[in-house]
A and B are shown apart, each in its own frame.
Chain A
Amino acid sequence: MMAEAQKTLEDVTGSSGDYKYGFVTNIESELAPKGLNEDIIRFISAKKDEPAWMLESRLKAYRHWLKMVEPTWAKVHYPQIDFQDLHYYAAPKQKVKLQSLDEVDPELLATYEKLGIPLKERGILAGVAVDAVFDSVSVATTFKGKLKEAGVIFSSISEAIREHPDLVQKYLGTVVPVGDNYYSALNAAVFSDGTFVYIPPGVRCPMELSTYFRINEAKTGQFERTLIIADKGSYVSYLEGCTAPMRDENQLHAAVVELIALDDAEIKYSTVQNWYPGDKDGKGGIYNFVTKRGACRGRNSKISWTQVETGSAITWKYPSCILQGDNSVGEFYSVAVTNNFQQADTGTKMIHIGKNTRSTIISKGISAGRGQNTYRGLVKVLGGAEGARNFTQCDSLLIGSDCGAHTVPYVEVKNPSAQIEHEATTSKISDDQLFYCMQRGLSAEDAVTMIVNGFCKDVMQHLPMEFAVEAQKLLGVSLEGSVG
């Protein structure tokens, strides 16, 4: 692991900056005019060749959004966002509709190659199917054929709206309703692409599914929508990764993810979020305002969120579980890193509705530089949730003396049989630990990487194997320069 970390550090220090995904792809794009109004929404819908019900739903969301105000309760600070100064649609120009992966623009293939994401159905990650979303559109989805044999639908959401309207209409917006919050309403109005997954009853998805999100174009926002349905007795493991070029201006990313698990189904959702975090002085970086929520609708269902959040200038994100079915299980494992001027306000909501529902929350926040890291979480047990149990552990690690860690846990219990446990710690990487590691031969950076990975071990072990090593490296890179 350290060998890899070392290599990554060298790669990074050898390049122009700390963020190795900061390049821009030169590709001709089709952009919607800047600004947001009903015409823009009609433009996006038309581009997608959408049915009328979808456009109606978008317009409804937009009209609702107009009446809403931006939330200010999170512990993050940023200048007012001008929502009229953004492009809401940007797509690489393609002459004809693609028939196969071989027809994908070589420039795009090269981009994903550079990002380490293979869009060819072979290579190191041959066991992983990828949907590649570039700015506002999905540019390629691999292994569709193989998955289809198992009955699994894995496609861009635009395609699903056209080809599986019954499924989309039945589930879209049922976990995160149109008016849920400011950013989800905005997303419901302007979302341009994302991933759709449906696992039929009794099917264990034969491979890891993943979506790789890339923002390329300047002055654009990315608004993706992901919908994953695990039908009765099915299982799926899904992973998303995100990167963006280094740009001086801040860019907006407002995604909505909805998960639905029916009886005895399990969804494992992992995120490695590495949007451009801004430079050392806090200039640029992605504003990441994301709504992720899963509904354990069926009995004995399970939804597990694992996130490694190292990027973005601002992260505002609370992957949550609605534990509706009796005996359903919700899990949230999170590592959030803030270095330099990054701010993260992240956590989860576990809503216990069904009987004997259980939830586990393990949150590891790491702050370095002038980073501010907040855990914000709600554990809510409703009156009918007989025998509900929750265990929460929030640990914060501070590196240096100019950063901050904050823990804001909310607990609301309306059933006397519920058992709720909460543990929290805050610690610093001590000079003793650093010196001990260095005395044994580790460089200061390797020492920090090792200590931080040790701190995060309880979370990292929940990542799919293929991505665990990558995520460990990422922690080291994100904290580079945090010790003198």
Chain B
Amino acid sequence: MLEINDLRASVDGREILKGITLSIKPGEVHAIMGPNGSGKSTLSYVLSGRDGYEITGGSVTFLGQDLLAMDPAERAALGIFLGFQYPVEIPGVSSMNFLKTALNSVRRARGENDLPAAEFLKLIRDKAKSLEMDPEMLKRSVNVGFSGGEKKRNEMVQMAVLSPKLAILDETDSGLDIDALKVVSRGINALRAADKAILMITHYQRLLDYVEPDFVHVLAKGRIVKSGGKDLALDLERDGYAAFVDAAA
């Protein structure tokens, strides 16, 4: 469903992604691990279409379409969701209103009608409940005054409501205590389905105890230097990144 072929990208003339090739099929969960500065966040931003990254080579197709030719909203409509490492605050806009607008924008882009208000309300309440979020939080401004854990939980509620085909989760586990980590993991596992795929980007093996990946890739200095099954994460945890980073150099 996602085909990344020899993808190269630069920021301010400096090459960050140096030829990434990765294929993700429906139903699969992939984890990309790597040290700081290896290009993990850049990859997630390039896939979701953020400005400021120059694509210098390669291609990305999603469901057969050229992803790199689309703006972020078009990619979202196609079913790509990015769970942010640092979710953004939007003062004065309630989470409820934000999500309703987002969901209906996506639906409209797909030629569907807006979800009736009552159905939307039920949907968002169910999803909030399943992720142990107080429904009162939905009335508050998006992420304003939220703790780190609350912000990540809010990302999971958004993901559950939007029900994307491909979820890219950029260090969603960072800064979470163990209880929050469990809730977030539950959110990710709930999305697992035969027609959906998940790409987790993470520093640590910890998240993978709760969300078991089918594939693990090591990203170092802008390249995938090793791929394997879930055991690779355990090797990494034990041996550290150093050996891989040196290999990439």
Contacts and interface: CB of A to CB of B under 8 A. Distances in A.
A and B found bound together? yes
Interface of A: 1-3, 6, 430-433, 435-444, 446, 450-451, 453-458
A6 B84 CA distance: 26
Nearest to A454: B92
Contacts of A2: 100-101, 104-105
B102 A435 contact: no
B38 interface: no
Contacts of A455: 91-92
A456 B66 CA distance: 38
B98 A440 contact: yes
A428 to B, nearest CB: 13
Interface in B85-99: 87-93, 97-99
Given A2-B105, A451-B93, A441 B88 contact: no
Contact of B73 (A441, A451, A454, A457): A441
B93 A454 contact: yes
Scoring A6, A433, A439 by chain B CB atoms within 10 A of each residue's CB, the highest score goes to: A439
B168 to A, nearest CB: 10
Nearest to B92: A454
10 contacts: A436-B84, A436-B88, A436-B90, A440-B98, A440-B158, A441-B76, A441-B162, A446-B105, A453-B92, A453-B93
B66 to A, nearest CB: 18
B103 interface: yes
B185 interface: no
Contacts of A430: 88
A398 B151 CA distance: 26
A432 B81 CA distance: 15
B200 interface: no
Contacts of A441: 73, 76-77, 102-103, 105-106, 109, 162
Interface of B is mostly: helix
A431 B76 CA distance: 17
B51 interface: yes
Interface string B27-57: 0000000000000000000001111100000
B162 A440 contact: yes
A439 B92 contact: no
A450 B109 CA distance: 18
Contacts of A438: 49, 71-73, 76
Contact of B48 (A432, A439, A443, A450): A439
Contact of A450 (B81, B98, B103): B98
Interface residues of chain A: helix, strand, loop or mixed (majority): helix
B197 to A, nearest CB: 17
Given A440-B76, A442-B73, A433 B90 contact: yes
Interface core residue of A430, A435, A441, A451 (most chain B CB under 10 Å): A441
A411 to B, nearest CB: 26
B218 interface: no
A431 B49 CA distance: 13
Contacts of B72: 435, 438-439
Contacts of B21: none
A351 to B, nearest CB: 30
B73 A443 contact: yes
Given A435-B51, A436-B84, A454-B141, A442 B102 contact: yes
B114 interface: yes
Given A439-B48, A441-B76, A446 B90 contact: no
Contacts of A3: 104, 114
A180 to B, nearest CB: 36
A308 to B, nearest CB: 15
Contacts of B138: none
B82 interface: yes
A385 to B, nearest CB: 33
Contacts of B81: 439
Contacts of B99: 440
B92 A458 contact: yes
Nearest to A433: B88
B97 A1 contact: yes
Contacts of A454: 90-93, 141
Given A437-B90, A440-B98, 19 more contacts: A2-B101, A2-B104, A3-B104, A431-B51, A435-B88, A436-B90, A437-B98, A438-B71, A438-B76, A440-B105, A440-B162, A441-B76, A442-B101, A443-B73, A443-B105, A450-B93, A450-B97, A451-B93, A455-B92
B107 to A, nearest CB: 9
Contact of B92 (A1, A431, A457): A457
Interface string B63-82: 00000000111011100011
Contacts of A440: 76, 98-99, 102, 105-106, 158, 162
A1 B96 CA distance: 12
Lowest 4 A-B CB distances belong to which pairs? A454-B92, A454-B93, A440-B102, A457-B92
Contacts of A437: 90, 98, 102
Nearest to B106: A441
A450 B101 contact: yes
Contacts of B102: 437, 440-442
A367 B71 CA distance: 25
B105 A451 contact: no
B50 A450 contact: no
A397 to B, nearest CB: 10
Interface in B131-174: 141, 158, 162
**Max chain A C-beta neighbours (<10 A), residue from B50, B101, B109:** B101
